[in-house]
Amino acid sequence: MIALLLALAAGPQQFDTVRAFCGSTIGMLMLFGWTWSLCFHLCNGIRHLAWDAGWGFQIPRAYATGYTVVAVSALLTVLIWICVFAQRSGT
């Protein structure tokens, strides 16, 4: 994201170079990983808020919420990328 903004400030040629990289296979893979890490961080933050409220400290529940965080973050990532590809094909 920062690279894209810096390239935009540097000029159209640099912006096109960064945009082409983001559209490449490795760029898309990196963006997918970045999206998953943001979704994971969001879901785990919600889990920690529940812990701050005193819920979920039992070991079985802690494991269950951990697995839930991984599953929900993966689902959110897939949904975000479905929206990305749906908008991409619509334009």
64-68, long-range: CB within 8 Å, 24+ apart, which pairs?
A: 68/43
Domains and CATH numbers, the chain: 25-90 (1.20.1300.10)
Tell me the C-alpha distance between 40 and 34, whole Å.
10
Q: Please say whether the beta carbons of 73 and 33 come within 8 A.
A: no
12-63 confidence digits (pLDDT tens): 898 899 889 988 999 999 999 999 999 999 999 999 999 999 999 999 999 9
Question: pLDDT grade, residue 89 (50/70/90)?
Answer: confident
Mark out the alpha helices in 25-58 (DSSP H runs).
25-52
pTM of the entire predicted model: 0.83
